[in-house]
Amino acid sequence: MYKKKVLSIFVLLLLSTKAYTQSIEVVFEQPIQLINKSVGKEWSFYYSINDIHYSLYSKAKIEVDKTAITLKIYAREEDKIPDIGSSILTIDPKELEINTTNRYVTIIHVIENGGKYKGNEAQWKMYFSINYMKQDTW
């Protein structure tokens, strides 16, 4: 009799526990050039989440747990010897509002690495949002 009660309680607990998945979706807006002191005219942009790379213009949707994720955003001046700047952010899912658009902004600095303009700077402002979604799987 005791085993049946324990089993019944376990089954009830299992059935009453909701299973869910947590994911984030990252969306970038068009980069805004703030400064460009002869660093370059041809640029590309991309980002990575936990070292997986994405085009800046593609949405990334990944499943997450409760551990922080590392988001790196890159601006790359395209020439023989590219100049690259980046911004690194650590996002803690516990600090995000669930099922809400969480907006961010960051500045990326790129320094010219050679030629007569060596040391000159370009700056890009990047707006992006992270949608943190929690969905029932039952």
For the domain bounded by 21-136, which CATH number is listed?
2.60.40.150
pLDDT value of residue 65: 84
CB–CB of 112/38 below 8 Å?
yes
What ranges do the domains of the chain cover? 21-136
Mean pLDDT per 10-residue run, the chain (138 residues)? Answer: 51 52 90 95 94 91 88 94 95 88 95 93 96 75
What's residue 6's pLDDT? 46
* CA angle in degrees (0–180, nearest 5) for 56-137-66: 55
Confidence (pLDDT) at 4: 53
Residue 99: the pLDDT is 87
